[in-house]
Structure 1
Amino acid sequence: MSGYLAGLECSRCTAYYPGDSARALCECGSTLLARYDLAGIRKAVTPADIARRAPTMWRYRELLPVRDDAAIVTMGEGFTPMIPVPTAARELGVGELWVKDEGLNPTGTFKARGASASISRWRELGVTRFAQPTVGSGGHAWAAYGARAGVEIHTALPVSCPELGWKGSLSNGAHVYRVDGTVGDVFRILTEAAARYGWLPAGAGREPYRFEGKKTMGVEIIEQLGWDIPDAILYPTGGGVGIIGMWKVFDELEQLGWIGSERPRLVSVQVTGGAVVKAFHEGLEECRGAQHVNTIAPGIMVVKPFSDYLILRALRATKGWAVGVPDEESLHYMSWINRHEGLLLSPEGAATIAAVRRMVREGELGPTSRVVVFNTATGLRYPHLMDGPVPVILGSGTIDDAAVARASRAIGGATR
């Protein structure tokens, strides 16, 4: 199969490049977006055809950039479950609520999608050395897929990031650099090194193919809802690749005739004071930047996303919203959802639950709203946030009334 990638279009100046161009950015320095032969795809495949395919993101093969199937680097990523959470829906005050659980991807994170699509396409174009800035999960995903593809990955992250990310990257054979500084320092240092050594800078928005992997999240939501549209999708936003990708693919699906003109409201969720949240509510077309803060949810603390203007376009085009969430609320809902729905969310995922509550209070969501939130990584990546009740230690091996009472007290008397 030769694929349906037609070209790359600049998201600012609209310059157009051939599909086989090995460009990461436009000559003007802006983000490139992949464009497809949608008329050809419409003739070649239908939703019914897709329903018969394997449950991975590559079931949407025609909407992904790889020319030759033999070039695909995959570990079964995608088609993660949409888990209904009715207890949370009642607690928060919405009609229906689903968690799209991306923590079930390879490496335990949604970053697997972008790594699979990007590494597959770039390797097909002959690129074999990559620079990947990260706060942990992205570097780990790129390291894992890089190992599978036999390419060279250089990843850098702040020393404050959880050790699982960099230890996982090291175990996959990546070159890992821990930076005593902020995420901004990481980007600067790795970008300079990439220019010096000829590595491809693969940060969020700095090459076109990560959007393509991430956009499959949007197709899956629609397909898993029976090709129906939810009212809102709340997405933890760092670089914003997922929001941009989903916005892009909804337009592609409409042109294919698979959905109508209705769109879910795309909602950006960040830490309090996040750059996108501030720019959205101030009516700006680009972010001014935000002050770096230490947070339990580093994936939603980016001082100034590279493709910020596209994130803001996506929010406004879908009549979306932007919500800032303090750490204490993310930590609360990380525990609450685990206790009441059995899901171990990342702090970034838990922030979307807190954001639902805030949107209900602000009148942006209500008792009939059908809402999808994203958990972007398994909570197992954050063991340092799981401090809680201490289990009962038995001296005799017998569980008696006293032991049961002590266990009940340890969980605050909650004996569900």
Structure 2
Amino acid sequence: METTDAFIGLTCVDCDGTFDAEVETHRCPDCDSILDPDYDYDAIDLSRSDLESRRFDTMWKYEELLPFTRESSISMDEGATPLVECPNLAEEMGVGRVLLKDEGRNPTGTFKDRGQTMAVTAAAQHGATDVALASAGNAGQAAAAYAARAGLQSHVFLPTRAGFTNKAMVNVHGGDMKVVEGRIGDAGAAYADAMEDEDWYSVKTFVTPYRHEGKKTMLYEIAEQMDWEVPDAIVYPTGGGVGLVGMHKAAKEFRELGLTDDLPAMYAAQSSGCAPIVKAWEEGKDVHEAWETPDTICGGIEIPDPGASPMILDALRESDGGAVATSDEDILDSAVAVAQQEGLEMGATCAAAASGAWELAQQGEFDEDDTVVLLNTGAGNKDDDVLRSHLMGMGV
């Protein structure tokens, strides 16, 4: 494998076992828990001026803190997305600044590209010929795209409710798509059944160790874009929580390396129709209970049984953050408000971050001089039918 100098292998988040990344490819062989890439941070000599001297072109500018070299990556120049000032939202929320990290500018239109560039790079380096996953939509599209880039076959299991754009582009990228009746859990079950009979390399959330590792680069970029200050709060639309876990890890890495001084408070934003993280947070639990009857139009965050909930809840506690749930109506209203007040296009699911931030502001969670970053995890045109239908329902 073509790995970076400081990458030393994989560590289990539960049993603390350490493993050779050339040998172990997915879950912990001892306890079947999540494996996390680990580094010798003492071997990393990286300064602010080093990073500033490099072009802000892709997430791979931070390769010393990633498992694989930039040269060996399966990349389409993902990352390096803008951090856009939103003065109207800041005034409405009563805070100093609101900034929107616009992940809709990635190659397939969502932040899933950051995870899939890493996961498919791992698959290619392990000699895989086929990759597979179950997805609510965007991750499947991204996997198909990066698999095509790598010359691999992709097998994507999507629920019927996945968006037309996702389904169409999996086909366009040459993916083998299985559309499964029902919701994400049904797609996941069909994927699991298929994996019993096939030797496919999984690029599924927290099955591969590498998707959250790619998404941590969002925090690196935010810190650099803010001149090495971290925001007071980051509000993240949370389903499986991959990006939230990754960004919290990145914040700790930058602090350990002396590149930043503080940790941003991480906030998980969910729909009230499927809010297992919020419920666990409010009850002071270390792990969630599965949400019995998920009911939200926000398919990307409709994850009733997030397997990494202990990592998510740890991140919220360690960063002095929190969790918030708002209704689908408020989420869609927020997407429209951001579009009409700032001109920025948030995906319907992604707007849980904006809706959650408004609710947190009303609860007095933010101070008047705080800087709040909203993660827009995908482009608005992924959900244009949902947003337009919402407007029509309002009589617009």
TM-score, normalised to structure 2's length? 0.94
Assess, with a 3 A threshold, how the Cα gap between structure 1 residues 294 and 2 changes in structure 2: closer, same or farther. Answer: closer
Matched, 1:34 2:37: yes
Query: Residue 365 of structure 1 aligns to a residue in which SS?
Result: coil
- Which residue pairs with 2:97 in the alignment? 96
Instruction: Answer yes or no: is the 8 Å Cα contact 2:271–2:301 preserved in 1.
Output: yes
Which one of the candidate residues 59, 62, 65 is aligned to 1:63? 65
Residues 309-347 of structure 1 show CA distances to partners (whole Å, capped at 9, x for unaligned) of: 111111111111111121101111111111110011101
Matched, 1:111 2:117: no
- Which residue pairs with 1:188 in the alignment? 189
Give the stretch that moved more between structures: 359-368 or 236-245: 359-368
- Which residue pairs with 2:14 in the alignment? 12
Which letter maps to 2:299? P
- Which residue pairs with 1:255 in the alignment? 256
Q: Which has the larger radius of gyration?
A: 1
CA offset at residue 90 of structure 1?
Answer: 0.7
Assess, with a 3 A threshold, how the Cα gap between structure 1 residues 225 and 69 changes in structure 2: closer, same or farther. Answer: closer
CA offset at residue 2 of structure 1?
Answer: 5.0
- Which residue pairs with 2:142 in the alignment? 141
Matched, 1:266 2:269: no
Instruction: Answer yes or no: is the 8 Å Cα contact 2:265–2:321 preserved in 1.
Output: yes
- Which residue pairs with 2:230 in the alignment? 229
CA offset at residue 214 of structure 1?
Answer: 0.3
Query: Residue 220 of structure 1 aligns to a residue in which SS?
Result: helix
Quote the Cα distance in structure 2 between the aligned partners of 1:317 and 1:353.
Answer: 23
- Which residue pairs with 2:345 in the alignment? 344
Matched, 1:23 2:25: yes
Quote the Cα distance in structure 2 between the aligned partners of 1:389 and 1:301.
Answer: 19
Query: Residue 337 of structure 2 aligns to a residue in which SS?
Result: helix
Matched, 1:198 2:213: no
- Which residue pairs with 1:357 in the alignment? 358
Which letter maps to 2:268? S
Query: Residue 374 of structure 2 aligns to a residue in which SS?
Result: strand
Give the stretch that moved more between structures: 368-377 or 127-136: 127-136
Assess, with a 3 A threshold, how the Cα gap between structure 1 residues 149 and 292 changes in structure 2: closer, same or farther. Answer: farther
Residues 41-82 of structure 1 show CA distances to partners (whole Å, capped at 9, x for unaligned) of: 12xx3221222223210000111111x544211111001000
Which letter maps to 1:277? V
- Which residue pairs with 1:80 in the alignment? 81
CA offset at residue 295 of structure 1?
Answer: 2.4
Instruction: Answer yes or no: is the 8 Å Cα contact 1:65–1:121 preserved in 2.
Output: no
CA offset at residue 355 of structure 1?
Answer: 0.8
Matched, 1:208 2:209: yes
CA offset at residue 388 of structure 1?
Answer: 7.3
Quote the Cα distance in structure 2 between the aligned partners of 1:346 and 1:69.
Answer: 29
- Which residue pairs with 1:165 in the alignment? 166
Task: List structure 1 segments (4+ residues) > 4 angstroms apart after TM superposition.
Answer: none
CA offset at residue 296 of structure 1?
Answer: 2.5
Which letter maps to 1:270? Q
Quote the Cα distance in structure 1 between the aligned partners of 2:257 and 2:125.
Answer: 26
Query: Residue 244 of structure 2 aligns to a residue in which SS?
Result: helix
Instruction: Answer yes or no: is the 8 Å Cα contact 1:271–1:326 preserved in 2.
Output: yes
Q: How many residue pairs are counted as aligned between the two chains?
A: 389
- What is the correspondence of 1:279-358 to structure 2 with a 5 Å cutoff? 279-358=280-359
Aligned-residue CA RMSD (Å): 1.8
CA offset at residue 124 of structure 1?
Answer: 1.2
Quote the Cα distance in structure 2 between the aligned partners of 1:343 and 1:411.
Answer: 22
- Percent of aligned pairs with the same amino acid: 35
TM-score, normalised to structure 1's length? 0.90
Quote the Cα distance in structure 2 between the aligned partners of 1:228 and 1:303.
Answer: 34
Quote the Cα distance in structure 1 between the aligned partners of 2:152 and 2:51.
Answer: 30
Which letter maps to 1:289? A
Quote the Cα distance in structure 1 between the aligned partners of 2:106 and 2:297.
Answer: 22
Unaligned runs of 5+ in 1: 391-409
Residues 263-308 of structure 1 show CA distances to partners (whole Å, capped at 9, x for unaligned) of: 1110001110411111111111111111343422111110111211
Instruction: Answer yes or no: is the 8 Å Cα contact 1:222–1:229 preserved in 2.
Output: yes
Query: Residue 196 of structure 2 aligns to a residue in which SS?
Result: helix
Quote the Cα distance in structure 2 between the aligned partners of 1:128 and 1:63.
Answer: 27
Assess, with a 3 A threshold, how the Cα gap between structure 1 residues 389 and 275 changes in structure 2: closer, same or farther. Answer: closer
Instruction: Answer yes or no: is the 8 Å Cα contact 1:204–1:306 preserved in 2.
Output: no
Quote the Cα distance in structure 2 between the aligned partners of 1:65 and 1:183.
Answer: 29
Give the stretch that moved more between structures: 324-333 or 13-22: 13-22
Query: Residue 61 of structure 2 aligns to a residue in which SS?
Result: helix
Quote the Cα distance in structure 1 between the aligned partners of 2:260 and 2:384.
Answer: 41
Quote the Cα distance in structure 2 between the aligned partners of 1:18 and 1:197.
Answer: 24
Which letter maps to 2:78? E
Instruction: Answer yes or no: is the 8 Å Cα contact 2:216–2:243 preserved in 1.
Output: yes
Unaligned runs of 5+ in 2: none
Instruction: Answer yes or no: is the 8 Å Cα contact 1:182–1:292 preserved in 2.
Output: no
Residues 325-382 of structure 1 show CA distances to partners (whole Å, capped at 9, x for unaligned) of: 2110111111111111001110122221111111112121132221001111100111
Assess, with a 3 A threshold, how the Cα gap between structure 1 residues 234 and 184 changes in structure 2: closer, same or farther. Answer: same
Quote the Cα distance in structure 2 between the aligned partners of 1:293 and 1:31.
Answer: 25
Assess, with a 3 A threshold, how the Cα gap between structure 1 residues 163 and 339 changes in structure 2: closer, same or farther. Answer: same
Quote the Cα distance in structure 1 between the aligned partners of 2:16 and 2:25.
Answer: 14
Residues 102-129 of structure 1 show CA distances to partners (whole Å, capped at 9, x for unaligned) of: 0000110000000001111221122232
CA offset at residue 20 of structure 1?
Answer: 2.4
